[in-house]
Structure 1
Amino acid sequence: MMPARTVETLFEDLRPGLGSQGRPWFFFLTNQRRKGLIWSRNMGAIQASGDYVLFLDSHCEVNEGWLEPLLERLALKPNLAVSPVLDLIDPVTLGYKKGNELLKGGFDWSLHFHWLKRDLANQELPEHPFKSPVSSGGVLMMSRKWFLKLGSFNSNLKIWGGESIELAIKLWLCGGQIEIVPCSRIGHIFRRHHAFDFPPHSHEQQQQHHQQEEEQELELSPAQATYLHNSKIIAESWLDDYKNMFYALKPAARRIPLNHTFHQLHQLRTELQCHRFDWYLRHVSPELSLMLYEFAATGTLRNEDRCLHHPGVKDSRQQLILVNCYRDDITQWSLFRSTGQLSTQREFCLGVDLHQEVTLKPCLRMNNTASMSQQWHRMDTHLVHNETHLCLENPVQDRLVLAPCRWHAVSQSFQFSLEMERQT
């Protein structure tokens, strides 16, 4: 095995090809200081000399015959990026379990990755390659030339997080596609927690962060700040007007500084004649588009300068408080068009009990008679309970009650960060 080398001190005599015994060379490059996964993968692609680049996490185990199916698809479609089906390796026992080829990659408006169920088309077999809006972040293979032409992973992203979503959007909008190839199987350890720490902010960012904390009571860990930083770059780079959906769900991101311009990105979008993001919603990820039509309103729910929050404690009568709106974990609320239910992301719904007390309980199915207790509608900025015709009110800090509607009462005015339809 060859000794590890730094990128900066790579020996001149290292060159691609076969060694004296007809075996391939392996070059191990290390950074002199921590630069993170995103920068390191970009540098690896630059130093590579083959036709294809393969990104593979260290916590993976390749299965038999994993490579040939990926190469076959790339030979047929040069602008393709391919990913195997990921089998599951238990992080504790290292037991190996077959993955599900009926799942594709996707993300929500908070720019978090999710697996999405897919249905087989007529005469489609489970082993057929299929298109996916996003690949799972750790494992991807594509033409090295095409990867570099797309600008690689966005070099302004920090350490780890969001790079697979950013590249996927860029691929689809700028003339490429992503496929998952079920005949290729690679085992992957899905850890429950990060195996590494995120670095603290730089001195300049720390000063900005402390100032923001004094003004907005921000509560961001280094991991949260990195996620918001990277997600904000994706939103500003590719979502066009739909970035308001992201900011509605992650208002703290508005306070995250970005220390670069988007001039090069605009040049890239022009040169490659990239589509706008609404094309991605129509042709690649209709599931993401459906979220826009399910909600009458979504995002944070503000009353004056505080937002309604569910901290997750057990007593339903004390689950609802009003806090600073710029906390990273602030509760996101969605008012559904079809049911009138006002739900958290944890699938708890705002309701009213027999004593007309405001509660937060698991959302009920609409064929349940009791579900009337969880139905609301908007009148101006008020939330009116369908069953009692009373309005939600915050008469004193951290307390919610039902009261007769008073249309000019500030204590009854609740504003979502994103309204999907005109209020009546």
Structure 2
Amino acid sequence: MICIILQSDLQLFFHQEQLNLCNKFIERTPDRPDSFFQYNRQLSDKINAVRELPITRHESCNTRRYSLPHYSRAKLSVVISFYNEARSMLLRTILTLINRTSEDYLHELIIIDDCSEDVGLLDNLKQLMRNLFTTKSRLTLILKRNQHRKGLIWSRNEGVRVASGNYLLFLDSHCEVNKGWLEPLLERLALNSSLAVSPLLDPIEPETFSYRTGNVLLKGGFDWSLHFHWLPRVLAELESPEMQYTSPAFAGGILMISREWFLKLRGFNPELQIWGGESIELAIKLWLCGGQIEIVPCSRIGHLFRPRHAFEFPPQFDQKLDSAQATYLRNSKIIAESWLDEYKYLFYALKPAAKQIPLNIHEAQLYDPILIKDGHQCHRFDWYLRHVSPELKLQHWSFSALGTLRNKGRCLHVESTFPKLELLLTSCFRLKVSQWHLHPETGQLSTESKRCLGVRNMKSPERPQLMLEPCVTGQVPSQRWQRRDTQLLHAETHLCLDNPLKNQLELSSCRPHAASQSFQFALEVGAQA
């Protein structure tokens, strides 16, 4: 671990000599295609390390006087973990943070390299920072490189372990900090120490690096598959869009919180591996155990949202599974088992492949959700559904049945073989097996891609045939199905969905107790209308 002290006057104004130093640092980036980083690296290298950004927050935020604690009680430790980030992007994150944060509050910057391919980066960064800033006084820069890949979750916990500030900021390594970002967040935390606050994220376009205004009418949430989603924010009467607002979850891994409160909650679950689910787990834990999450639109940080992961996941227990999906499924399963209580059946209904993934939790682990719940008298998950995210509770209550659709140990699946879609029966434990929803009023049997199971040739002498077609609003005879015990009866033809042979689906006369006509949903919610 490398620790250096930077100059007290942290406002960095670039002269040609300083620009040359930055350019030399950036030129040492290993030659990799843009697909390696999932953004336009060549353009990133050409953009100034600290460029002018548009003021995206409401004008009232610029003139407001913030009530802040004395800096001696509000020292900020910033934790940045990265893996295979382009040098120019990482440098832009660091220098915009230093340049646009009050030196009184910026106590230390902790940067952890998770064993990136660019092995000389941290040594070069240490030398660059020493040359850009004189070695005097206040900001401490702590640099650490993992000797083997340990992941974002482990690295952030390690950053907290060495941190000494009153507050923590977790910041991704592909950000640009905008002016005045700190004061609105710090004011909220000073008023309520059990809060966790997030800036409103302004998206940075990965191809053009254009900096856009984030949407103040969105809040963070997730679905029963434990995937993050943006949700619409509904303004209360007399509520201004620029006011801070509560959010069920946060995005982008950018969060500010009291270090004492974070440690009381035992940090990120160390049993979660590499990346994925850690922010959802922390959000649930915060809300259930006496905290809250707020998004503060007067604080703006730009975040580059990449189209997909720019890194590989280490192999998992089963080489047949995609390692990224297997890692996320395992992490999500830990969250479901730890926090969802009786609602975990909804997770398994949508992610049956998680059932076969072993957790391999260490017996001597220090992180025990039961002890956390007892120590903080945490609410059960039903409280979260009633008071924090009613949208989640209502999400599947509009269906009479949902999840995988099983027949004799295999599941009904829609295979995309361009240019057509094929219906087949496959292993229920394959990743991304089709999820079905039976709508109680229309009788439509639909997939998550809004395709409905329909029937053609309903009145012709020929045998009616199954087909997948776009779902049509309203009650459509060809798409109307009825639940009869475990059978699926087509209402117009009075025939039942049947699997007479191994992978053959057809309609045939309904036969009581026929195993080939018995289709079980992962979850039966209620009776059809």
User: Normalising to structure 2: TM-score of the pair?
Assistant: 0.72
Quote the Cα distance in structure 2 between the aligned partners of 1:397 and 1:276.
44
Query: 1:348 is matched with which residue?
Result: 451
Quote the Cα distance in structure 1 between the aligned partners of 2:444 and 2:254.
39
Q: Per-residue CA shift, 1:28-78, capped at 9, x if unaligned?
A: 222222111001101111211111100110011111111111111111111
Deviation of residue 167 (structure 1)?
A: 0.3
Alignment of 1:83-162 (within 5 A): 83-162=198-277
- Letter of the aligned partner of 1:393 in structure 2? D
Query: 2:380 is matched with which residue?
Result: 276
Deviation of residue 312 (structure 1)?
A: 2.1
Quote the Cα distance in structure 2 between the aligned partners of 1:302 and 1:408.
15
Query: 1:336 is matched with which residue?
Result: 439
Query: In the alignment, which of 315, 322, 328 is matched to residue 221 of structure 1?
Result: 322
Provide closer, same or farther for how the CA distance between residues 64 and 352 of structure 1 changes in structure 2, counting only shifts above 3 A. same
Deviation of residue 279 (structure 1)?
A: 0.5
Report whether the alignment pairs 1:168 with 2:283.
yes
Gaps of 5+ in 1: 8-18, 211-218
Quote the Cα distance in structure 2 between the aligned partners of 1:359 and 1:115.
33
> Is residue 482–residue 528 contact of structure 2 (8 Å, CA) maintained in 1?
no
Quote the Cα distance in structure 2 between the aligned partners of 1:380 and 1:121.
44
- Letter of the aligned partner of 1:124 in structure 2? E
Alignment of 1:19-418 (within 5 A): 21-201=136-316, 205=317, 209=318, 219-260=320-361, 264-314=368-418, 318-355=421-458, 356-366=464-474, 371-418=476-523
> Which one is further off, 328-337 or 267-276?
328-337
Quote the Cα distance in structure 2 between the aligned partners of 1:2 and 1:278.
46
Q: Per-residue CA shift, 1:252-279, capped at 9, x if unaligned?
A: 1111111125882211110100000111
Quote the Cα distance in structure 2 between the aligned partners of 1:423 and 1:130.
38
Deviation of residue 83 (structure 1)?
A: 0.7
Q: Secondary structure at the match of 2:300?
A: strand
Gaps of 5+ in 2: 5-109, 114-133, 459-463
Quote the Cα distance in structure 1 between the aligned partners of 2:491 and 2:188.
55
Q: Secondary structure at the match of 1:311?
A: strand
Quote the Cα distance in structure 2 between the aligned partners of 1:255 and 1:59.
35
Deviation of residue 421 (structure 1)?
A: 2.5
Q: Per-residue CA shift, 1:81-117, capped at 9, x if unaligned?
A: 1111111111111111111110111111111110011
Provide closer, same or farther for how the CA distance between residues 330 and 354 of structure 1 changes in structure 2, counting only shifts above 3 A. same
Query: 2:66 is matched with which residue?
Result: none
Provide closer, same or farther for how the CA distance between residues 342 and 372 of structure 1 changes in structure 2, counting only shifts above 3 A. same
> Is residue 127–residue 182 contact of structure 1 (8 Å, CA) maintained in 2?
yes
- Letter of the aligned partner of 1:332 in structure 2? Q
Quote the Cα distance in structure 1 between the aligned partners of 2:433 and 2:161.
40
> Is residue 132–residue 178 contact of structure 1 (8 Å, CA) maintained in 2?
yes
> Is residue 173–residue 274 contact of structure 1 (8 Å, CA) maintained in 2?
yes
Q: Secondary structure at the match of 1:254?
A: helix
Q: Secondary structure at the match of 1:45?
A: helix
Quote the Cα distance in structure 2 between the aligned partners of 1:112 and 1:20.
45
Q: Secondary structure at the match of 1:146?
A: helix
- Letter of the aligned partner of 2:328 in structure 1? Y
Q: Secondary structure at the match of 2:156?
A: helix
- Letter of the aligned partner of 2:509 in structure 1? P
Q: Secondary structure at the match of 2:396?
A: helix
Quote the Cα distance in structure 1 between the aligned partners of 2:309 and 2:222.
19
- Letter of the aligned partner of 2:263 in structure 1? L
> Is residue 162–residue 231 contact of structure 1 (8 Å, CA) maintained in 2?
yes
> Is residue 294–residue 338 contact of structure 1 (8 Å, CA) maintained in 2?
no
- Letter of the aligned partner of 1:306 in structure 2? R
Quote the Cα distance in structure 1 between the aligned partners of 2:238 and 2:522.
44
Quote the Cα distance in structure 1 between the aligned partners of 2:528 and 2:213.
49
- Tell me the matched-pair count: 396
Deviation of residue 5 (structure 1)?
A: 9.2
- Letter of the aligned partner of 2:465 in structure 1? E
Query: Which structure is larger by alpha-carbon Rg, 1 or 2?
Result: 2
> Is residue 174–residue 269 contact of structure 1 (8 Å, CA) maintained in 2?
yes
Deviation of residue 21 (structure 1)?
A: 3.0
- Letter of the aligned partner of 2:153 in structure 1? I
- Letter of the aligned partner of 1:238 in structure 2? W
Quote the Cα distance in structure 1 between the aligned partners of 2:518 and 2:111.
62
Q: Per-residue CA shift, 1:305-357, capped at 9, x if unaligned?
A: 211001223455x5211111110111111112233211111111111123532
Query: 1:16 is matched with which residue?
Result: none
Q: Per-residue CA shift, 1:216-267, capped at 9, x if unaligned?
A: xxx4111111011100000000001111111111111111111125882211
Q: Secondary structure at the match of 1:293?
A: coil
Quote the Cα distance in structure 2 between the aligned partners of 1:294 and 1:265.
32
Quote the Cα distance in structure 1 between the aligned partners of 2:287 and 2:511.
50
> Is residue 252–residue 303 contact of structure 2 (8 Å, CA) maintained in 1?
no
Quote the Cα distance in structure 2 between the aligned partners of 1:315 and 1:308.
20
Quote the Cα distance in structure 2 between the aligned partners of 1:292 and 1:423.
14
- Letter of the aligned partner of 2:296 in structure 1? V
Quote the Cα distance in structure 1 between the aligned partners of 2:375 and 2:252.
26
Deviation of residue 297 (structure 1)?
A: 1.0
- Letter of the aligned partner of 1:322 in structure 2? L
Query: 2:97 is matched with which residue?
Result: none
> Is residue 457–residue 465 contact of structure 2 (8 Å, CA) maintained in 1?
yes
Aligned-pair identity in percent equals 60
Quote the Cα distance in structure 2 between the aligned partners of 1:42 and 1:188.
22
User: Normalising to structure 1: TM-score of the pair?
Assistant: 0.89
Query: 1:14 is matched with which residue?
Result: none
Q: Secondary structure at the match of 2:140?
A: coil
> Is residue 205–residue 304 contact of structure 2 (8 Å, CA) maintained in 1?
yes
> Is residue 237–residue 265 contact of structure 1 (8 Å, CA) maintained in 2?
yes
> Which one is further off, 236-245 or 372-381?
372-381
Q: Secondary structure at the match of 2:271?
A: coil
Q: Per-residue CA shift, 1:114-150, capped at 9, x if unaligned?
A: 0011211101111011110000042111111101100
RMSD: 2.2
Q: Per-residue CA shift, 1:365-393, capped at 9, x if unaligned?
A: 11xx6x23212121100111122222111
Provide closer, same or farther for how the CA distance between residues 5 and 252 of structure 1 changes in structure 2, counting only shifts above 3 A. closer
Quote the Cα distance in structure 2 between the aligned partners of 1:357 and 1:173.
50
- Letter of the aligned partner of 1:330 in structure 2? V
Provide closer, same or farther for how the CA distance between residues 189 and 304 of structure 1 changes in structure 2, counting only shifts above 3 A. same
> Is residue 320–residue 398 contact of structure 1 (8 Å, CA) maintained in 2?
no
